[in-house]
């Protein structure tokens, strides 16, 4: 299920109500208890600070040129 934009997945991993557990698969939800990180419910509230953006890649074909020469 998608929400907000095509890049943001609606799942407990990004929910304001859930905190990750040590095993990495489960989340502790303040509303529903222990849930899977890939699960979701109707009370989902997106927390942008939990999202890890993809790494930026360097632009191909660019190289340093010294203009002072």
How many CB atoms neighbour CB 22 within 10 A? 6
Tens of pLDDT along the chain (69 residues) come to: 544 556 677 888 889 999 999 988 999 999 999 999 888 889 988 888 888 888 887 777 777 888 886
Rounded to two decimals, the pTM is 0.62
Task: Write down the domain spans for the chain.
Answer: 2-47
């Amino acid at each position: 299920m998608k929400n907000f934009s095509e890049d943001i997945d609606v799942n407990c991993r990004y929910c304001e109500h859930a905190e990750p557990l040590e095993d990495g698969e489960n989340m502790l939800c303040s509303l529903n208890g222990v849930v899977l990180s890939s699960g979701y419910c109707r009370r989902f509230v997106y927390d942008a600070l939990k999202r890890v953006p993809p790494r930026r890649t360097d632009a191909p074909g660019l190289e340093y040129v010294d203009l002072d020469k």
